[in-house]
Amino acid sequence: MTIAATIDRKLRDAFAPERIEVINESHLHAGHKPEFNGSGETHFRIRIVSGSFAGMSRIARHRALNELLRPEIEAGVHALALEPAAPGEPTRW
């Protein structure tokens, strides 16, 4: 299973989202470090709308996502761009 698929499954199980996108953006970061060519699964954008986020601050939402995905971060995911929202809140996607 890919890292993106693992992240998607974990988010679905934990937050039962109405909408979700897990986007591998690793290729956008090629050359940021000499040893990184943009291949693999190291940089992700996570867009998620879930009732679980209702009443939570933006910081609390980010902490919940980071805590859930801690094993992936410790295993080599370098960056997560997080876009969590509760139902009815505006999103950019």
Domain 3-85 in CATH: superfamily? BolA-like (3.30.300.90)
- What's the mean per-residue pLDDT of the chain? 90
pLDDT the model gives residue 27: 62
- Nearest-Å Rg of the Cα atoms of the chain is 14
What residues does each domain of the chain span? 3-85
The C-alpha angle 39, 75, 3, rounded to 5 degrees, equals 55
Q: What does the pLDDT look like over 26-66, one tens digit per residue? A: 866 555 554 555 456 788 999 999 999 999 999 999 999 99
Q: How far is CA 50 from the centre of its chain?
A: 13
**What is the C-alpha separation between 64 and 15, in angstroms, rounded?**
10
Contact 60, 67 (CB under 8 A): no
The C-alpha angle 46, 47, 48, rounded to 5 degrees, equals 115
